[in-house]
């Protein structure tokens, strides 16, 4: 209950999206410069701790036959298979002991880019009185964008930490387009230097 007790005291939470080994350097689906988000996330975790704000983290937690994998007719190489090293959080990510983790993409037959898709994240946050989310992680143009749009749809104020995200950029400007789409939907986009809890 420690997490919920802390959560009930504050209206802002930090939500870190998919900072996992397979999305970082040498991973099965490495995001270019993905490792660079780790120190930004760690600073945000420190800031959250100083303010008594809770920290949440999402992770892809796929079965080995997930529909998103190329071998199963999907678009991506096999990645973030539940229980394997590639699915673990980056070893330098300093998550607090009371972090609340949401596993997504656990249904072999369903895509799930958003941390709110098929998880209890929205209900947990609403029940705890959270009104504002600070979001960072991987990747800007996929799971971060989907999570931000769902968070806005669920009624949260959302601040996206721009230098705490990196994009896949299948097309060179996908990351910038994703930021623009999130901002148009109502999110605030700021660099770490301007973030306040």
Of 53, 104, 141, 145, catalytic: 104
> 3-class SS at 129?
coil
Beta bridge partners of 57: 16, 101
Of 10, 18, 53, 80, catalytic: 18
Q: Is 143 a catalytic residue?
A: yes
Structure tokens at 104: 């997504």
Q: Is 127 a catalytic residue?
A: no
Between CA 134 and CA 145 the distance in angstroms is 13
> 3-class SS at 13?
strand
Q: Is 136 a catalytic residue?
A: no
Q: Can you say how many angstroms the Cα of residue 168 is from the centroid of all Cα atoms in its chain?
A: 14
Of 136, 143, 145, 150, catalytic: 143
Half-sphere exposure of residue 62: CA atoms within 13 angstroms, side-chain side: 27
Half-sphere exposure of residue 118: CA atoms within 13 angstroms, side-chain side: 17
* Helix (H) and strand (E) counts in the chain: 5, 6
The residue to which tokens 């892809």 are assigned: 60
> 3-class SS at 191?
coil
In sequence order, what are the residues at sequence separation of 6 or more whose Cβ sits closer than 8 angstroms to the Cβ of residue 184? none
Active site residues: 18, 104, 143
């Amino acid at each position: 209950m420690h997490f919920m007790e802390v959560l009930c005291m504050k209206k802002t939470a930090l939500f870190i999206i998919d900072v996992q080994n397979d999305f970082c350097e040498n991973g099965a689906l490495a995001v270019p410069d993905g490792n660079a988000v780790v120190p930004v996330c760690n600073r945000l975790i420190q800031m959250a701790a100083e303010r008594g704000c809770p920290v949440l983290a999402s992770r892809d937690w796929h079965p080995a036959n997930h529909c998103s994998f190329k071998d199963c007719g999907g678009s991506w190489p096999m990645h973030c298979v539940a229980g394997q090293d590639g699915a673990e959080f980056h070893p330098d990510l300093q998550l607090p002991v009371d972090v609340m983790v949401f596993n997504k993409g656990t249904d072999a037959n369903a895509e799930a880019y958003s941390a709110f898709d098929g998880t209890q994240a929205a209900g947990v946050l609403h029940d705890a009185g959270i009104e504002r989310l600070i979001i960072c992680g991987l990747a800007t143009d996929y799971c971060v964008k989907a999570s931000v749009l769902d968070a806005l749809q669920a009624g949260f104020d959302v601040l996206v930490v721009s230098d705490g995200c990196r994009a896949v950029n299948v097309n060179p400007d996908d990351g910038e387009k994703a930021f623009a789409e999130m901002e148009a939907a109502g999110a605030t986009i700021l660099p770490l230097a301007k973030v306040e809890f």
